[in-house]
C-alpha cells in the first residue's frame, strides 16, 4: 500500500505545479496535454489498455491498475478517502479483467446524457436527453434519442389514477366531454384506459413539435457505462490545469440486477 500511496501522491501532485513553465525539461502544457483524457474515444482506449497514460513505468507490475486509476476524478478521494478509493478502484479493475470488459462505441450498455436547458412557457427548465448508438437503415452508425428525464418539471405524469366517462354518455353523444376539456386539462390523460400509458419521450416530442417547449442551450454531457458486471459508472469532462483532467469517472456504484433496471428506468424517464 505504501507504493500505491506514493503513486497517488505523484499522480495528483500537479495540482499546484501548473504555475511552473516546464517539468523535467518538458513544456508544462505538453505534459498536461499528454496526460489529459481528451475525448470519449481516448477514455475508452485507455480503459481498454490500447493506450496508456504517459510517464507510467511500463515495467511496473501494477501498470494496469495505475493506468486504470488515472481514469478517476481526484475529487473522489476527498469524499471517500484516499485509501478507500484506491482499494475500490483496484477491486473494480480486477472485475474488469476477470470479465474481459472492453468499452466500445457499438456497445448497447452505455448511454450519453446531454444535460440541456429548455424554455417552457418562457421559464427555464433543465432536462436530460438520453441517447444510445444504433445503426441507420443504410448500415451507418449514429446516435438516437431513447429517453428524457426531468419531464415532471413540465407537467408530465404517467399517473395510475384514472377518471371515467359516464356509461350513459353515448346516448348524449358524449356531450359531457366538453366540460372535461375545459375543467380537467391538467389531468385529462387520466381518461385513458387502464392498459394505456403515457411515456415521457412521446410527451417531450409533442411539446417540442408544438412549440410549447423550446431549446435554449446545452449544459454538459455525461456518459453512463453499464459494461462492468455489478457496476454503473459515469464519466464527464473536467477542464482544469492539472494532470487529472479531461473525461474522467466522477461517480460509480455497485448495483444488483434489480438496481440496474431501476437506474436505467430513472435515466430514461420511464
Ranges of each domain in the chain: 2-106+245-255, 161-194
pTM of the model: 0.84
pLDDT band at 77 (very low <50, low <70, confident <90, very high): confident
The one-character DSSP state at 196 is -
Q: Summarize pLDDT for 233-252 with one digit per residue, the tens.
A: 999 999 987 778 899 999 99
Question: How many CA atoms lie less than 13 Å away from 217 in the CB half-sphere?
Answer: 3
What percent of the chain stands above pLDDT 90? 55
Q: Summarize pLDDT for 134-167 with one digit per residue, the tens.
A: 998 898 889 999 999 999 999 887 766 766 767 7
Strand 123-135 to 141-149 pairing:
antiparallel
Under a CB-based contact definition with an 8 Å cutoff, are residues 85 and 221 in contact? Answer: no
Cβ neighbors of 243 (< 8 A, separation 6 or more) are: 11, 12, 14, 31, 32, 35, 36
pLDDT band at 120 (very low <50, low <70, confident <90, very high): very high
The one-character DSSP state at 24 is T
Classify burial at 133, counting beta carbons within 10 Å of its beta carbon; exposed 0-12, middle 13-18, buried 19 or more.
middle
Judge whether residue 191 has pLDDT over 80. no
Amino acid at each position: 500500500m505504501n507504493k500505491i500511496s506514493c503513486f497517488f501522491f505523484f499522480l495528483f501532485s500537479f495540482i499546484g505545479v501548473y504555475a511552473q513553465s516546464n517539468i523535467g525539461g518538458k513544456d508544462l502544457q505538453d505534459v498536461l496535454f499528454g496526460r489529459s483524457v481528451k475525448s470519449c474515444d481516448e477514455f475508452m482506449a485507455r480503459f481498454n489498455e490500447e493506450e496508456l497514460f504517459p510517464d507510467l513505468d511500463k515495467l511496473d507490475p501494477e501498470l494496469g491498475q495505475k493506468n486504470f486509476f488515472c481514469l478517476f476524478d481526484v475529487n473522489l478521494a476527498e469524499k471517500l478517502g484516499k485509501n478507500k478509493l484506491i482499494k475500490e478502484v483496484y477491486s473494480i479493475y480486477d472485475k474488469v479483467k476477470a470479465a474481459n470488459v472492453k468499452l466500445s462505441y457499438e456497445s448497447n450498455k452505455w448511454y450519453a446524457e446531454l444535460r440541456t436547458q429548455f424554455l417552457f412557457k418562457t421559464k427555464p427548465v433543465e432536462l436530460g436527453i438520453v441517447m444510445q448508438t444504433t445503426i441507420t437503415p443504410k448500415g451507418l452508425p449514429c446516435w438516437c434519442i431513447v429517453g428524457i428525464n426531468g419531464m415532471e418539471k413540465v407537467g408530465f405524469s404517467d399517473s395510475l389514477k384514472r377518471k371515467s366517462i359516464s356509461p350513459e354518455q353515448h346516448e348524449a353523444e358524449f356531450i359531457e366531454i366538453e366540460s372535461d376539456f375545459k375543467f380537467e386539462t391538467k389531468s385529462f390523460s387520466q381518461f385513458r384506459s387502464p392498459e394505456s400509458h403515457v411515456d415521457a419521450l412521446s410527451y417531450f416530442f409533442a411539446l417540442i413539435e408544438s412549440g410549447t417547449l423550446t431549446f435554449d442551450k446545452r449544459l454538459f454531457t455525461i456518459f453512463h457505462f453499464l459494461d462492468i458486471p455489478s457496476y454503473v459508472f459515469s464519466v464527464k469532462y473536467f477542464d482544469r490545469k492539472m494532470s487529472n483532467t479531461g473525461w474522467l469517472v466522477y461517480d460509480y456504484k455497485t448495483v444488483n440486477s434489480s438496481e440496474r433496471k431501476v437506474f436505467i428506468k430513472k435515466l430514461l424517464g420511464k
